[in-house]
Amino acid sequence: MFGRRKKKGAAENAAGEAEQVVDSVDTEADDEEERERIRLAPGPRPDGPWDVSEVREPGEGRVDLGGLFVPGVDGMELRVEVAGDAIVAATVVLGDSAIQLQAFAAPKHEGIWGEVREEIAAGVTQQGGIVDQVEGPLGWELRAQVPVQLPDGTGGFQVVRFVGVDGPRWFLRGVISGRGAVQPQAAGLLEQIFRDTVVVRGSGPMAPRDPIVLKLPNDAQMVPEGMQQEGQSRFAGGLGQLQRGPEITEVR
């Protein structure tokens, strides 16, 4: 009887090992399927944003920042964000809303927005924030509540929207903050600016996720932070005014 029980136990162990192998194979298959899902080739962009090859006159009605042509609208303030000595992002401010625009190099035949979304979501969650992935007016996006320190020193949350579109060998990310992040009617013009932005990737070799460097327009006037005219909101300003503002960084 002892021998029979031993054989039975061996059979059960073998069955358990087989189940573990099957589970491992299934998990690997699921992981591979997920990787394929988030690395799909860039889809069509019938409403933009645009590659420079798709626009006849990219500088018409747009501010030339080198790697980006950003649409100009009345009453907007345009700020640039600097990393070291390089300008890597531009922020358009309209009223109490803003959108940061940043372009990156991407692989030739696959998009990176699905992968980037997952990384941003994981980073926000690790910091104690809340993230929802939804399909919005610009496609799949993240609506996040990011932990911040309020002016009075207490903790709170800032609501932001992370939007993105994969293009030919580039990826354009937008971060919408302020009123436009919580009120759809306030976000319409910012979303249109995102759609009508033109990306200039260039033909040189770039590693995926390298930022596409920007430049100041030739007639730009740098206005240091905090140098607004008396009574002027920090969200005020015109199309010709460039301010060097704080970078709105990706939470990772």
pLDDT digits (tens, 9 = 90+) for 150-196: 888 888 899 999 999 999 999 999 999 999 999 988 999 999 999 99
pLDDT exceeds cutoff 80 at 18: no
pLDDT, tens only, 40-59: 666 677 888 999 999 999 99
Which comes out higher in pLDDT, residue 225 or 115? 115
Q: How far is CA 94 from CA 81, 140, 182, 191, 196, in A?
A: 17, 23, 15, 12, 16
pTM metric for this prediction: 0.73
CB atoms within 10 A of CB 17: 10
Predicted local distance difference test score (pLDDT) of residue 69: 96
The two tokens of residue 61 are 């009605």
ω before 49 within 30° of 0 (cis)?
Answer: yes
Strand order of the sheet with strand 68-71?
Answer: 50-51, 198-199, 68-71, 62-64
Q: Is 32 exposed, middle or buried (0-12, 13-18, 19+ CB in 10 A)?
A: exposed
pLDDT exceeds cutoff 70 at 17: no
Report the C-alpha gap between 202 and 212 in whole angstroms.
9
Predicted local distance difference test score (pLDDT) of residue 221: 60
Every domain of the chain and the residues it spans: 1-38, 50-244
101-105 mean pLDDT: 97
User: First CA to last CA across the chain, in angstroms?
Assistant: 60
Which comes out higher in pLDDT, residue 67 or 231? 67
Percent of the chain at pLDDT exceeding 70: 69
The continuous run of DSSP H or E covering 20 comes out as helix 2-38
DSSP conformational letter for 46: T
CB atoms within 10 A of CB 115: 16
Report the C-alpha gap between 226 and 240 in whole angstroms.
17
Report the C-alpha gap between 113 and 36 in whole angstroms.
13
The mean of the pLDDT values for the chain is 79
The two tokens of residue 34 are 């997920």
The two tokens of residue 107 are 């692989």
